[in-house]
Structure 1
Amino acid sequence: AAWHRRLLQQEASVLGYMDRRDEQIAAYDRYDARYDPDLTVLRIWPLVKLARFDEAREIGNKLVHSDNAYVRQRALNGMMAIEEEAGNRMASYEWGQKAMAATANESCVINTNTALGARRVFKFAEAIALDQQALKAPDKDCPTPPYAQLAPVYLVGGRFQECLSTLQALRATPLPADIRPHNQMVIKARLVELLLALGAFEEAESRAREILAAPDRMGYESGSKELKELGNNLLAWSVFDSRLAQLEERIAVRGLLDGVPLRFEAEQLAITRAEARREALRLALADQALSRTVRPYFSDLMPWYGADMIRVFGHGMMGKAIDEAEAAERDVRKEAALFLDAYRGEAAWLDDDLTEARRLGERTLAALPEETKLLRLRVEAWLADTLRRLGDAAAAERHFAAVMDFYPTVLRGLRIRLPVRLAGGVGPRSAAITDRLADSPRLLLQSQSRFVVDVRDEGKRIEICLQGAKRSCGVLDEEAIEALPEDADVIASAVDHFHDEVFAPRIELTQSDINSLDGRAVRQDARGAVDALLGREKKEQEKK
């Protein structure tokens, strides 16, 4: 009978991996009818997936007091999942605290699930600490390495270099064969988020397409396949839209004929973006799908780019979803309202309701946690544009300076022009370069501005710099010029380089932060960091 027992257990496991939950429960019925001890504790997971929360709670509440340590731990972990999927943030977090006490912090999965609960209740520093603790836990029972949760929380706080090194560690962690396909999609999604933040839109685009073509396998997660796909399509929409902004910049500084290939590429990408939007709309129509996704940090969709939902779904649909999301918050309504007001403020800005945008922007910026740095800078970006349009140039410039100092990428995604003054250039082509810069959709030319763009053409080297925040330059050096196709427009290429370098973060890379890149402390731009990360990814693919 031992082989039959193992066969039934394996059948239930495979059905769970395939997310066929009713059949999985039936397999447990067959097992429990013949063998002891029963597998009642394993029923919690499929019941959660089927949204049969009361049945799952009844089992969990009974078994958290079991004398069997394994059963007790599974029940405690199950109670966290039950309350999370039922939409109860604080209850899930509190069950995590009980589970950690019961397991003496020795279980990786208990620590990392409690870290997720901490993120859900906006305790970002605690979430990081718990995931770091999970990495050191003696019981290595995590199906997905805790790095997968650390990376997005680091990114929420604008801690680019730590996010980057965490992704490298995640990629280097051996994965069991049975869950490797699922984890590879998790890794790819986290990588796409980082590439989006760093302005590496072309690389993000190709990987976003891969995610949509091969969606996550949801057997190892408590959430639904539909919500995961909704989040994937919204992330992809943000990536495609930002890539379109980059193409628009390149088209703007080229002539009609030279811009034809780029226009064709942009038209094709716009179709792909529309397909992602259409799929997101379909998935959002499911019961509570959109309001659950809108609830801040209650899904994998991070608000620093999730605010793009306003443009995806429209203001009416999003306004209703925001109200429903706020009504669903029982334990942390005040905290959640801060993030929802960031959405409302951005919607007002998009509607040209500048007075309301200013009111919500200033109030939200004063109250949002410092740990949510990328969202804060997104708010600061549209608030700066609001203040400029209201005539408060000094206040606008202060906010623009903060954005340009740390996260200038956001101006590209939001299609915001930075008010600048073009200085006289140096060199034979400087006037022609300045003329092209005047056509840039990222620059708003003004006679007076703290932001100054100057050009230096040294023949074999073109340098275009922005001053007024931290000085940042796009440099097309001799090697780069020689690498261009023979018929390339060198001036347009120099302006492209300016856009890609100046409107992207600069990253402090140290040996301890990112010791797998080049082994020495450097300060480099986002492009260099991306190249290092993707170079490693390419090598790993070649090994396979």
Structure 2
Amino acid sequence: MKKLLCALLLASAPLWGETPESTSEYAQAESAFQSQKYAQARKLTEEILKKEPDNYAALYLLGAIYHYGEGSIPRAYYCYSRARKGIERAFPEHPESSASGPLYGTVLQELSETAQQLEHYQEALDLIDERDKLYPSEKQTARKGWPLLKLGRFDESRQLMTKLLDDPEQAGYRDHALNTLGNIEFEADNMEKSYEYFQKIASEAGYGSDPVFFCNAGEAARDLLRYDESEKLMLKSTEMFNAYTYSDPWGFLAELYAAESRMPEALSALKQMQAWRISGSAQASQNKWAECYGHLGSVLLQMGYDEMALEKLGMLIRRQDRNSSISTAPTLVEGRLVYLYSLALQRNIQRTREKLSYAAWKEVPGLLGRLFSMERQVARERDRVANLIAANTGVDGFLQPYGAKALDLPSFSTAVWSCFGPGAVIASVERSLKVEKPEMAARKPYLTAILGEAYLYDWRVADSQKSLEEAIKSLPAAEVKLRNRCKAVLVKALNQQGRRKEAMTYLQSLMDTDPSQLRAVQVALPVSIETDGSESSNSARKWLYASPRCQKASDGFVLKLQAGQDKVSGQLIGPDGTSAGSFEGQPRGNPSDSARSFCEVFHAQAFAPIIDLSQMDIRSIDGSTGAVRGEALKQLTE
């Protein structure tokens, strides 16, 4: 037995005379890594591993390259795990006090970090505890706050972080503790307390710190409906770019600007958002991929570019971010994305119905197939939203304008009845309005707007009108898109009561400022179409009257059509006699095709977004222009 034991010990002993991390080959690879020359570092590290597959120092370094250089967290976790086992085999008694003790401590730290990013929160906690036990003079207890929060152990996390704030040994983690406390209070819906923590850390951290502190403070201000303060803090965050930050201030600014109908600023913020993401480390860039495209999809919907929004949001349904860097529940993140996707689907269903009204017979089967497919899909996605939210974070929280369980996009929240049913939404809003909290007074106009639309689809038309009119009057001035949504729904409520003249006032306002709301809310434009008697203009009139966007009426808008030079053109005149737009179809070889071309142009332009995206804009907001900061790409490829 003794001989066998000696043989096993001999077999497990390292074959090198010096520790692997002290060799010149390792030093060269590590130097390349520290210089952020990740491709070169990986090549040198892999050369070491070809000769020594179990070289624990090289395995650690390869893990760090995957982690920080390439953003491949599963591969990094695997390499760190092998490095840990290698050190423990080489020094089975006390690896922490061995010649590779410093490296062992680093491996445990990075392993806990990657375990957390893979959402293995209990494992991350265990690794932090193990490291603190082995290295008592270098405790990292403050790092336990975040995984405890993610496990829902709020009281335990709060107690630990509060205690550490006054611990001089944990002074280096004070900002981490404050940030965790702010997130704990946010998840508990204690918005003022959350804001206080984030403000405190922002003031203490100062210029040059991680931008996430100012970004979190900006989010907290937004959640309290203090939009001006939120914008200032977010802009402050954008001045502190850090390649390793998880913050995304430009994305939040883009949504803020879009909600206020500041579309040129929203477009600029989207471009900056993608440049910010691409310029970060591979790890941070990968971590924020879905979040950025979620912002992009929501802003495109706000702008009225629902076809592009459907494409971008469809990408997210198939690939979502890991959820380790934010406090929000994974089911809520998924529920938000699926909800936005369902809205984009519904608007594209309307576009398909519009096209069916003037399509050639040969196009009809394909369009009908697309229509039926989208209608089935939107029903599935709505059920999915209901299941994700109702079974986890709850409907009541989802309906709040902002918060730990909210959609966080008030201008889209009035359509939640389509997922949960109008009755459930009405009951939820009525419960919320009875809650006695400081924030509820400011939230009431938002909940009233949701109530107004739910009433309409619950056949309580008079109640719908009353609630919508109240919301329009009481919503903050900044909520331009939400107010426009309320106006569009109010048009439907007034029309159902035969109050067409009142409806026309709101309708003309929408056609001037936000015509895409008609498609979003499925409102038809009351219009009288006059022609010059030509075959092409008469055909265009017939097909436009068949469209869900046009309703034949003598007391609404007037569309005057005339044909000439193989094309149809038209002038839309508002009820007050002012021009509401000019439209011109493309020249075609026969009257029918000329009429169809005009119908296509009319639907595309009359109910169009109020901002026109160029091809350069599209590439920039899609993150495909390569507009990055400094040496970001150069460092990755050298």
Partner of 1:452 in structure 2? 558
Partner of 1:120 in structure 2? 223
CA displacement 1:133-170 (0-9 Å, x = unmatched): 11123877631331121111111111111111111111
Partner of 2:584 in structure 1? 475
| Secondary structure in structure 2 of the residue aligned to 1:346 | helix
CA displacement 1:89-108 (0-9 Å, x = unmatched): 22211222222232246532
Partner of 1:420 in structure 2? 527
Partner of 1:24 in structure 2? 124
Query: Equivalent of 2:294, from 186, 189, 193?
Result: 189
1:153-302 → structure 2 map (5 Å cutoff): 153-173=256-276, 174-254=279-359, 257-298=362-403, 299-302=406-409
Taking the aligned partners of 2:432 and 2:615, their CA distance within structure 1 comes to 39
1:53-92 → structure 2 map (5 Å cutoff): 53-67=154-168, 70-92=172-194
| Secondary structure in structure 2 of the residue aligned to 1:456 | strand
Partner of 1:369 in structure 2? 476
Single out whichever of 19-28 and 311-320 deviates more from structure 2.
311-320
Q: Are the counterparts in 2 of residues 185 and 211 from structure 1 also a CA contact under 8 Å?
A: yes
Query: Which one-letter code corresponds to 1:503 in the other structure?
Result: F
Partner of 2:252 in structure 1? 149
Query: Equivalent of 1:132, from 229, 235, 252?
Result: 235
CA displacement 1:482-505 (0-9 Å, x = unmatched): 9xxx99944223212211211123
Aligned residue-pair number: 518
Query: Which one-letter code corresponds to 2:186 in the other structure?
Result: E
Query: Which one-letter code corresponds to 1:290 in the other structure?
Result: V
Partner of 2:17 in structure 1? none
Query: Equivalent of 1:409, from 507, 513, 516?
Result: 516
Taking the aligned partners of 1:148 and 1:43, their CA distance within structure 2 comes to 29
Kindly state the Cα deviation for residue 118 of structure 1 after the two structures are TM-superposed: 0.7
Query: Equivalent of 1:381, from 488, 491, 508?
Result: 488
Name the % identity: 23
Partner of 2:134 in structure 1? 34
1:389-538 → structure 2 map (5 Å cutoff): 389-425=496-532, 429-449=536-556, 451-468=557-574, 471-478=580-587, 489-507=593-611, 526=612, 529=613, 531-536=615-620
Q: Structure 1: where are the runs of 5+ without partners?
A: 508-525
Taking the aligned partners of 1:534 and 1:194, their CA distance within structure 2 comes to 13
| 1:99–1:245 Cα change, 3 Å | same
Q: Are the counterparts in 1 of residues 530 and 558 from structure 2 also a CA contact under 8 Å?
A: yes
| 1:163–1:452 Cα change, 3 Å | same
| 1:187–1:420 Cα change, 3 Å | same
Query: Equivalent of 1:93, from 195, 209, 218?
Result: 195
Q: What's the TM-score once normalised by structure 2's chain length? A: 0.76
Query: Which one-letter code corresponds to 2:569 in the other structure?
Result: E
Taking the aligned partners of 2:264 and 2:440, their CA distance within structure 1 comes to 32
Kindly state the Cα deviation for residue 387 of structure 1 after the two structures are TM-superposed: 2.1
Query: Which one-letter code corresponds to 2:114 in the other structure?
Result: V
Kindly state the Cα deviation for residue 228 of structure 1 after the two structures are TM-superposed: 0.4
| 1:348–1:92 Cα change, 3 Å | same
| Secondary structure in structure 2 of the residue aligned to 1:259 | helix
Taking the aligned partners of 2:269 and 2:409, their CA distance within structure 1 comes to 18
Taking the aligned partners of 2:234 and 2:383, their CA distance within structure 1 comes to 36
2:144 is the alignment partner of 1:43 = yes
Single out whichever of 149-158 and 54-63 deviates more from structure 2.
54-63
Taking the aligned partners of 1:139 and 1:177, their CA distance within structure 2 comes to 12
Q: Structure 2: where are the runs of 5+ without partners?
A: 1-100, 628-632, 634-638
Task: Name whichever structure is richer in helix by fraction.
Answer: 2
Query: Equivalent of 2:212, from 96, 103, 109?
Result: 109
Kindly state the Cα deviation for residue 130 of structure 1 after the two structures are TM-superposed: 0.8
Kindly state the Cα deviation for residue 470 of structure 1 after the two structures are TM-superposed: 6.2
Taking the aligned partners of 2:222 and 2:579, their CA distance within structure 1 comes to 32
| Secondary structure in structure 2 of the residue aligned to 1:419 | strand
Kindly state the Cα deviation for residue 114 of structure 1 after the two structures are TM-superposed: 0.5
Query: Which one-letter code corresponds to 1:96 in the other structure?
Result: F
Kindly state the Cα deviation for residue 460 of structure 1 after the two structures are TM-superposed: 4.4
| 1:542–1:162 Cα change, 3 Å | closer
Q: Are the counterparts in 1 of residues 181 and 194 from structure 2 also a CA contact under 8 Å?
A: yes
Q: What's the TM-score once normalised by structure 1's chain length? A: 0.89
Q: Are the counterparts in 2 of residues 427 and 458 from structure 1 also a CA contact under 8 Å?
A: no
Kindly state the Cα deviation for residue 78 of structure 1 after the two structures are TM-superposed: 1.2
| Secondary structure in structure 2 of the residue aligned to 1:296 | coil
Q: Are the counterparts in 2 of residues 425 and 455 from structure 1 also a CA contact under 8 Å?
A: yes
| 1:45–1:447 Cα change, 3 Å | same
Kindly state the Cα deviation for residue 183 of structure 1 after the two structures are TM-superposed: 1.4
Kindly state the Cα deviation for residue 87 of structure 1 after the two structures are TM-superposed: 1.8
